[in-house]
């Protein structure tokens, strides 16, 4: 939130655009299969908790949240919205992983989301540079 006061709006918009562009690249890039952590010696709660905790290091969500907080100056709202969004997205995946995997084509959905991030980020970047 302190960055919001020190940096121009164009630089903040470019930072936000870059976070969306890198998230989009991460969504359309090839992924290795997900380890289901079935051999971990912990129970289901701790395996889910620790597995998701480890996966979140360096994930695109943190960069988008930081850019949102920097751009708007509303860090607590960005953090609360990010937490709530992650919980809403992860809960069905945890509870219904196999059903979702078998019935919903995740690759096209991930590619469409990545394309949306890339297009939005490119538009914001061009706007920050005064081109669009």
Read off the pLDDT of residues 43-56 as tens digits, 9 standing for 90 and up: 888 887 887 777 77
How many domains does the structure of the chain reveal? 1
Q: Phi first, then psi: what are they for 92, rounded to 5°?
A: -65, -35
Domain containing 120 equals 2-128
Read off the pLDDT of residues 69-93 as tens digits, 9 standing for 90 and up: 888 888 899 889 988 988 888 888 8
C-alpha dihedral sign at 37, 38, 42, 46: positive
| Burial of 13 from C-beta contacts in 10 A (0-12 / 13-18 / 19+) | middle
Q: What is the CA radius of gyration of the chain?
A: 17
pLDDT at 27 over 70: yes
pLDDT at 32 over 80: no
What is the SS3 assignment for 92? helix
């Amino acid at each position: 939130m302190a960055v919001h006061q020190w940096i121009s709006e164009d630089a903040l918009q470019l930072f936000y655009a870059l976070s969306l562009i890198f998230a989009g690249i991460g969504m359309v890039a090839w992924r290795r299969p997900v380890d289901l952590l079935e051999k971990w010696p912990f129970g289901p709660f701790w395996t889910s908790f620790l597995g998701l905790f480890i996966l979140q290091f360096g994930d695109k969500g943190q960069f988008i949240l930081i850019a949102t907080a920097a751009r708007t100056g509303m860090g607590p709202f960005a953090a609360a919205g990010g937490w709530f969004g992650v919980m809403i997205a992860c809960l069905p995946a945890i509870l219904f992983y196999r059903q979702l995997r078998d019935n919903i084509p995740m690759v096209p959905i991930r590619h469409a989301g990545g394309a949306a991030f890339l297009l939005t980020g490119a538009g914001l970047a061009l706007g920050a540079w005064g081109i669009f």
